[in-house]
Amino acid sequence: MPPRTQPTIFWFRRDLRLKDNPALHWAVKRGEPVLCLYIHDGLADRVPWHQGEASNWWLHHSLKSLTSDLESAGNCLRIFAGQPEKILRQVVKESNANTIAWNRRYEPQSIELDKHLKTVFTDLGIKVQSTPGNLCHEPWVVTRQGTKAEGKMPYKVFTAYWRASLKHESLPVTSSLKSVPGIKTRLANELPLNDLGLLPTMAWADQFTDYWQPGEKGAASNLQTLLKKPISNYDSGRDLPAQAGTSKLSPHLAFGEISPRQINAAIAKKIKNKSLVFDENIETFQKEIGWREFACHLLYHFPHTTDQPLDLRFAKFPWKKVNPQNLQRWQQGNTGIPLVDAGMRQLWQTGWMHNRVRMVVGSLLIKNMGYHWLEGARWFWDTLVDADLASNTMGWQWVAGSGADAAPYFRVFNPVRQGERFDPDGAYVKQWVPEIAKLPKKHIHSPWTASQAELESAGVVLGETYPHPIVDLKTTRVEALERFAKIKTLLSA
């Protein structure tokens, strides 16, 4: 390496893409070679929120895709494992780099780490450039005016947040890079991807390849699929779990293989050339992007919510003691309640679950079974390919009634009525719970209401081929309201 060459280090994190990558774009525009790093650090997502098995599967394949994309752009991905500060110090010294660039992250531990690293390397005379990479609006941008003493305040209600966000100009999409110039010198302690050990030891994740294409190309493909059909019926189609009515972009967004700005820009382009018309379907989809931003807004301003209720009055809520066998039945999709079982089996087989069904399975665990929302949050964190700390936290607190913009605790989703409304023919249940597929439509969401003759005709033996319901829905709903009544005075204070 020429002695006067001072490359820029670009640190890939949850931004595993080349297009619309602001910090990478900034690094390339400096005119020096760019050293592209990925550092696998178990401490970056500290217990209990270390990265789950399904996310690790996705990360492995996403890094594999990124490696290929970088090679096509004239660069390579240098993979390391260990503490970021130690590795960055080594790379700075070995490469003679004088600049480090990264896109910002907003989880509590990531913010703490980034602040520390900025101080350390700035004191060493190394320029550190951090850039907003994965949001339309950074968490501190969309705020409300509190009292004079309070100043700017975060939002706790999505509708107000969404309306306010529309008054702020979104961060722009950066121009495409033709190449990412690098250097060929191998650095000490670089690892091959397989040495990170990201692929789960259990073979259950192998089937994910039937459903997903991790990486930037997979994200672009899913976006194009969305724009061809689902978005035109998104307002109603997103609620029907048997249909392909959602975008399937959530894991791509979670790993930064596509940015929300790119998605909105693609929609705007379609509207401009009149291949799409702005209507309630597009508005509803864009609000879903807004919910993701709102989740990040909440986590940034209320970092304690990863394991504590946003509404601290719920800290005194009388949760039931967990029965390990019943929790396992919920996890494995053997509750005897078809819509719940279908969702949990879809999660296990694909690493993903339809959003409406996520609310239903969460409600059963929290309201009917009476278990703390963290039991569900931890299971989702380990089994979702789109696991995102902000969205996972917001979603579970929403169902529990303890978060921002939350469903009231007394709102209990009835999985039978939800199934009859959103899966009226039972197609979703039949796909994932085939052992009851021959039941008449009127009983597909409540096998326990079928006559003995109907059960026998369908080949169903309750308690043997399909379990009895784990709870009585009516009784446990009443019990949930009684638990709520115990702290109602606190909640209305």
Q: What is the pLDDT of residues 54-86, one digit of tens each?
A: 999 999 999 999 999 999 999 999 999 999 999
Displacement of CA 329 from its chain's centroid (Å): 24
The two tokens of residue 424 are 């009226």
Comparison of pLDDT for 313 and 460, the residue scoring more: 460
Nearest Cα neighbor of 64 from 56, 88, 224, 50 is 56
Asked if residue 322 lies in contact with residue 328, where contact means CB atoms within 8 angstroms, the answer is no
Put the strands of the sheet holding 99-103 in their side by side order: 77-81, 34-40, 8-12, 99-103, 127-131
Report how many helices (DSSP H) and strands (DSSP E) the chain contains, helices first: 20, 7
CATH of domain 312-491: 1.10.579.10
The answer to whether the bond into 318 is cis (omega within 30° of 0) is no
Kindly report, as residue ranges, where domains of CATH 3.40.50.620 are found in the chain. Answer: 8-133
Taking CA 50 as the corner, what is the angle to CA 48 and CA 51, rounded to the nearest 5 degrees?
A: 135
**101-118 tens-digit pLDDT:** 999 999 999 999 999 999
Structure tokens at 466: 């399909």
Round the CA-based radius of gyration of the chain to a whole number and report it.
24
- Per-residue pLDDT reduced to its tens digit, 243-276: 999 999 999 999 999 999 999 999 999 999 999 9
Q: How many CB atoms lie within 10 A of CB 382?
A: 17
Average the pLDDT over each of 257-266, 292-301, 343-352, 482-491 and give the range with the smallest value. 482-491
What is the domain class of 8-133 according to CATH? Answer: alpha beta
d(CA 335, CA 163): 40
Is the whole model's pTM more than 0.75, yes or no? yes
Q: Which CATH class is domain 135-174+216-301?
A: mainly alpha
- CATH 1.10.579.10 boundaries in the chain: 312-491
